[in-house]
Amino acid sequence: MTKPISNVYYVKQGADAYQDFTTKWVGLTILKLDGFNKKGKSKNIYTRSWINSSTDDVYMPDVVCFENPDVAISFRVDDFESHSVNVQSVHDNFIDYMTTHTVTIKTLFLDKEAAFVCKAEYEPTTIALKRSAGGNYILGTLTMHRVTATNSV
By C-alpha distance, which of 122, 119, 124 is closest to 146?
119
Just give the CATH number of 5-41+68-152: 2.40.30.200
Q: What is the pLDDT of residue 1?
A: 47
Alpha-carbon distance of 32 to 111, in angstroms, equals 16
Any idea where the domains of the chain sit in the sequence?
A: 5-41+68-152
**Which helix (DSSP H) or strand (DSSP E) does residue 25 occupy?**
none
List, in sequence order, every residue forming a beta bridge with 29; answer none if it has no partner. 76
By C-alpha distance, which of 79, 77, 106, 82 is closest to 94?
77
Q: Tell me the pLDDT of the chain (153 aa) as tens digits.
A: 455 555 689 999 989 999 999 999 999 999 999 988 888 899 999 889 988 888 899 999 999 988 999 999 999 999 998 888 999 999 999 999 999 999 999 988 888 899 999 999 999 999 999 998 889 999 999 999 999 877 776
Buried b / exposed e over 13-30, threshold 16 CB at 10 Å, is eeeeeeeebbebbebbbb
Q: How many helices (H) and strands (E) does the chain have?
A: 2, 11
Q: Radius of gyration over alpha carbons of the chain, in Å?
A: 20
Q: What is the pLDDT of residue 152?
A: 74
Q: What is the pLDDT of residue 148?
A: 87
By C-alpha distance, which of 109, 98, 103 is closest to 147?
103
Alpha-carbon distance of 20 to 40, in angstroms, equals 27
